[in-house]
Chains A and B, each alone.
Chain A
Amino acid sequence: MAAICFYFQVHQPYRLKNYSFFKIGKDHAYEATAQNVEILNRVSDLCYLPANAMMYKLIQENEGRFKITYSITGTCIEQLHRHRPDVIDSFRRLAETGCVEFLSETYYHSLASLYSPTEFVRQVKLHEKAMQNILGVKTKVFRNTELMYQNGLSDLLDEMGYKMVLAEGGRKFLGAESANQIFQSKNEKTKVLPRNFILSDDIAFRFSDPTWSEYPLLADTFASWLHNVEDPNGCINLFMDYETFGEHRKQETGIFDFMKHLPKQILKDKKAHFATPSDLLKIKKTKPPVYDSPAWSSWADADKDVSAWTEDHMQRDALRKIYALEPVVLKLGKPDILDVWGKLQTSDHFYYMSTRYRNDATHQSFTHYNSPYDAYLNFMNVLSDFQGILSSGL
């Protein structure tokens, strides 16, 4: 049967505080510090710590046969480092097992790949450094913010030495090819791992939905679905938010119990095995099929595109303005200013401004604003202050 590739996204943004127009020019602290720490603590206690402990135990129990992959954003690891060293320690322990891979991404979980190649490279390097310093890890596999991908991205990744990238699955990118295999980019320079969005979302979304025909989903049922995938050179890519465990799906839903039993159920089949993306890189295949995404794609929403961040006038206005600051920020070259600018690029700020998905339950669960208009105005007030700082050259 095919290899099972589990990858979990770990992310927390720096949410902005309530920043009214009175504060412009007077208050240069933008973060909702107390709220950010509170959420970080909650998610650490409900998800990161218990889930890491569970994963560690599963790795021990299965004597190296269970493998997983993470990608932790810079904004998240920075906050954990500052406020929850216990969580950092638990990730380190996982890293030391040799069964866990940590992927590369943009430090600020940004949309830089869409707007500025220079800034993209800066942020990826920053992230590489952070992962090396904090967890002592390095990789040749990249995942972009929200699995955003476009054919041109692989040129940039290739220049930076990346061999593989994660992307969303779906007919429009894969054609008639099976999703459960390794693809390659259009320029044939980079391997592409497409997400099996059906099986992934069975765990990430439908698991706790009582109206779903498969509810309640048990580990042996899910394992049997995986066993049915025959291709020995294939891979089933189960990509999801790590916060699925304990935060998006609360402990009471049985999500931990499900995961605790899953590896054993999967490994009942002697041919079954888990793999990290770097393990998959070692598979030699003469000519993998081409993953084709001429426009920007992502793992979000039914449309699998970037409309949730870039569709509205507000989003485009805010994005245009934040990236228009690049020359000034680079000219000043001050690390603290570069850091503030980077944090303002975090994709969450623009996601909160989406009007199309305003009443979507998934979107609502992520935003702390009452409306996309509030999100935009708050961001723009902060941006006005930041523009003031830049023009004063402080």
Chain B
Amino acid sequence: MTKTKVLMLGWEFPPVLTGGLGTACYGLVKALSKYADVQLIIPQADRNQTLENVSIKGLNYYGVTGEQSIELPELPLEEYAKVKKVPAEFSNPYPVGIGFAKEAKALVSPEAIRALYSTSEPYGPNIMQKVATYAEVVSRMALEMDFDVIHAHDWITYPAAVKIKEMTGKPLVVHVHSLETDRVGEKAKGDWNKVYEVEYKGMSKADRVIPVSRYTQECAMTHYNIPEEKFYPVHNAIDPAETFRIPNNSGEKLVLFLGRVTFQKGPEFMVETAWKLLQVYPKVMFFVAGVGDMMDELKKKVLERKIDHKFVFAGFLSKSNVKKVLAQADVYFMPSVSEPFGLSALEAAQFDVPCVISKQSGVAEVLPNALNADFWDTESFANYIYGLLNYEGIREDMISKTRKDIALLTWDDSARDVMEVYESLGV
């Protein structure tokens, strides 16, 4: 039997990472390559980064003879995960204002196309031009390629995917890692938000929709009115990794917030939680690793509550520094307003850090031994963190049970679930 040929359209991919999208794509594609022939097209490929049995094409090499496909030995994720460059002005890796950007025309000359994607910034102010150009170029490339199914990751690739489906009649699977309604809330549904429209069109035209959680499926059904029968949720996973602990001798416990400081991640609920906890339990520091458009507001709120001496703002951390912080953290705290999945919680759990996460998080579905409360329920969050820092019995139970939960989460299982989705399409 011949393997299913998948035309995979991605955006972020190691080493270009801003959030979970690239990490998830990498994990899935790598596992899927065992069962399917995957041809991946991304805006920017790194010539040093390849995957066995996967053809990776980067538009940053577009038109360069013999350079479209790069085949090099495989590297461990650890290496991929080193985020290349984070410019100082790059304060918001995923600009939440994208939805309001102007329409843009696709570029045509190979030089201009290569230049467009040869930046360290996968989004940026000209994101709509990148998306439009990707749609044009990739759909033309697809006509020359042999594949059975189109598999597109998140809205930035949906215009290309829809176009290819229309031209070739091949079935389309869209993978939803995140929705505009997660990122900006109800505002996403305003008439002027193009990202919402792109997502709506992508999911509507798709034959199958793969949300990264049942929670995301609910969101897509509620906010985009996509019929239930299209959905085949597939959870993200995590590869086994070497973990370690670094003793914390500061005399203060460490609560870690890791992620973009944006509306979606609920930073204001972190401040309220911290304030409530600190009334009773002062021997704790809140460590904020991440940047985003709500950073100034967050700092202002912390000052207003007079708890600024209890906060460390570490900015954007490299993967290896993230690990060092995880190795010292006592609690991982993710009060997200709407989190389609939340891979970083899995990383924390892998480091034996007990997780306190919002119920509005997809990752809660695979971490039954984490503590959950509604994102606005800061009293419950504070109560959970207090308990984790004070009562010894709970940590051991949560950690040992979570280890078992994580051992069950493999990308191989996710890949097999995706294969079932392809099979349901008869390909």
Contacts and interface: CB of A to CB of B under 8 A. Distances in A.
A381 interface: yes
A365 B383 CA distance: 25
A376 B379 contact: no
B394 A373 contact: yes
Contacts of B394: 313-314, 373, 376-377
A355 B383 CA distance: 20
Given A21-B280, A21-B382, A380 B387 contact: yes
A62 interface: no
A contact face: mostly helix, strand, loop, or mixed: helix
Interface string B196-214: 0000000000000000000
A30 to B, nearest CB: 16
B393 A312 contact: yes
Contact of A377 (B379, B383, B392): B383
A342 B37 CA distance: 66
A355 B280 contact: no
Given A20-B379, A313-B396, A355 B401 contact: yes
B401 A318 contact: no
Contacts of A314: 393-394, 397
Contacts of B401: 355
Given A22-B280, A355-B401, A317 B383 contact: no
A262 interface: no
Interface in B356-405: 369, 371, 379-380, 382-384, 386-387, 390-394, 396-398, 401
Contacts of A312: 393, 397
Interface in B230-263: none
Interface residues of B, number: 22
A355 to B, nearest CB: 6
Interface string A290-311: 0000000000000000000000
B313 to A, nearest CB: 26
A325 to B, nearest CB: 16
Contacts of B379: 20, 22
Contacts, number: 59
Nearest to A311: B397
Interface string B272-312: 00001001110000000000000000000000000000000
A376 B384 CA distance: 11
Contacts of B382: 20-21
A316 B392 CA distance: 11
A280 to B, nearest CB: 42
B379, B380, B393, B398 pick with most chain A CB within 10 angstroms: B393
Contacts of A377: 383-384, 387, 391, 394
Contacts of A22: 276, 279-280, 379, 383
A372 B387 CA distance: 13
Contacts of B397: 312-314, 355, 372-373
Interface string A144-178: 00000000000000000000000000000000000
A377 B383 CA distance: 8
A376 B371 CA distance: 12
B280 A316 contact: no
Majority-rule SS of B interface residues: helix
A24 B392 CA distance: 18
Nearest to A312: B397
Contacts of A371: 371
A373 B398 contact: yes
Contacts of A21: 280-281, 382-383, 386-387
Interface in A12-34: 20-22, 24
A23 to B, nearest CB: 10
A251 to B, nearest CB: 35
Interface in A337-394: 355, 371-373, 376-377, 380-381, 384
Chain A, interface size: which category? 20 to 34
Contact of B391 (A315, A317, A372): A317
A312 to B, nearest CB: 5
Nearest to B393: A317
Nearest to B383: A20
A21 B280 CA distance: 8
Interface in A242-262: none
Contacts of A355: 369, 397, 401
A373 B386 contact: no
Contacts of B383: 20-22, 377, 381
B393 A318 contact: yes
Nearest to B392: A317
Nearest to A372: B397
A292 to B, nearest CB: 32
Scoring B279, B371, B392, B397 by chain A CB atoms within 10 A of each residue's CB, the highest score goes to: B397
Given A21-B280, A22-B379, A316 B393 contact: yes
B393 A24 contact: no
A384 B384 CA distance: 15
B371 to A, nearest CB: 6
A312 B281 CA distance: 26
Contacts of A315: 393
Contacts of A381: 383, 387
Interface string B17-43: 000000000000000000000000000
Interface string A182-222: 00000000000000000000000000000000000000000
B387 A313 contact: no
A123 to B, nearest CB: 24
Interface string B136-169: 0000000000000000000000000000000000
A376 B391 contact: yes
Nearest to B370: A373
A315 B396 CA distance: 11
Contacts of A316: 393
B134 to A, nearest CB: 44
A373 B391 contact: no
A22 B381 CA distance: 12
Nearest to B396: A313
Contacts of B386: 21
B393 to A, nearest CB: 3
A24 B371 contact: no
A20 B279 CA distance: 13
A312 B401 CA distance: 11
A28 B194 CA distance: 56
Contacts of B280: 21-22, 24
Contacts of A384: 390
A287 to B, nearest CB: 46
A380 B386 CA distance: 11
A380 B396 contact: no
A57 B394 CA distance: 50
Given A21-B281, A377-B387, 18 more contacts: A20-B382, A21-B280, A22-B279, A22-B280, A24-B280, A312-B397, A313-B392, A313-B396, A313-B397, A314-B393, A314-B397, A318-B393, A373-B371, A373-B387, A373-B394, A373-B397, A380-B393, A384-B390
18 contacts: A20-B379, A20-B380, A20-B383, A21-B386, A22-B383, A312-B397, A315-B393, A318-B393, A355-B369, A355-B401, A371-B371, A372-B397, A373-B369, A376-B387, A376-B394, A380-B387, A380-B390, A380-B391
Leading 7 A-B pairs by shortest Cβ distance: A317-B393, A377-B387, A314-B393, A313-B396, A21-B386, A20-B383, A380-B391
